[in-house]
Amino acid sequence: MSLEAVVLALSLTAQAAPAPSPEVRDQVRALLGNIDTRVPPETFRALGPGAEEALADFAREEQGSPLRRVHALEALAGLGGARAEAVHREVLARSTAPRAVRRAAVRGLGRLAGPRRAAAELSPVLEQDSDPVVRATAAEALAAHAPADACARIRARALVEPAPSRFHRALTTCDRASRAGSRRR
């Protein structure tokens, strides 16, 4: 999906999403600042209308704290839905976003897309992203969420990587999935 299509999709969904009140925005900011404990999605849901929009705003905030952006993406992935997917795609499409933010977008998109769509969503990242660490993160997400569809592609990509050791976790996950599949037969 092109960046223009993502922006259009976001603008269409933004019309339906309630704008966060200043109080909700402040509460979301405070929760995202919690570095010691992961905040469960139910906590954001309990803030009511506008919490999801505030999370999306923080995730897209170009000049925002990378850690806050990562936490916002994780919270959106926990909430799920089309809006969360669109925000993850948008952040991932921005090659200028910090590496940690793009990796969080990859992990979240893999989780949101699930086994049926993860390969379609993340294979282009695995094959074409300019950052080798983001490619390795895509391999890990693919191995975790769509091993049947993606492990052959992950193994092939690891062979041409300048630092194939970055793919160790993904390859280990693929090997485990392969062994588990063999035992079921």
Q: What does the pLDDT look like over 10-39, one tens digit per residue?
A: 444 444 567 888 999 999 999 999 877 889
Look up the domain containing 131 and give its range: 117-185
The DSSP H or E segment spanning 2 is none
Q: Report the C-alpha gap between 13 and 68 in whole angstroms.
A: 23
| Residue 86 sits in the same domain as residue 122 | no
Residue 86, CA atoms < 13 Å, CB-side half-sphere? 19
Helices and strands (H, E) in the chain, number of each type? 10, 0
Output the pLDDT for position 142: 98
Number of domains comprising the chain: 2
The pLDDT-based confidence of 178 (bands split at 50, 70, 90) is: confident
| Residue 89 sits in the same domain as residue 127 | no
| Residue 137 sits in the same domain as residue 91 | no
Please work out, in degrees rounded to the nearest 5, the angle formed at the alpha carbon of residue 11 by the alpha carbons of 8 and 12: 90
Structure confidence by residue, pLDDT tens digits, 117-176: 999 999 999 999 999 999 999 999 999 999 999 999 999 999 999 999 999 999 999 999
The pTM of this model reads 0.86
Model confidence at 8: pLDDT above 70? no
Of residues 1 and 141, the one with the higher pLDDT is: 141
| Residue 54 sits in the same domain as residue 135 | no
Output the pLDDT for position 184: 63
Residue whose C-alpha is closest to residue 154's, from 177, 169, 171, 168: 171
Q: Is residue 127 part of a domain?
A: yes
Model confidence at 83: pLDDT above 90? yes
Cβ-proximal residues to 42 (8 Å cutoff; 6+ apart), any chain: none
Cβ-proximal residues to 81 (8 Å cutoff; 6+ apart), any chain: 52
| Residue 93 sits in the same domain as residue 23 | yes
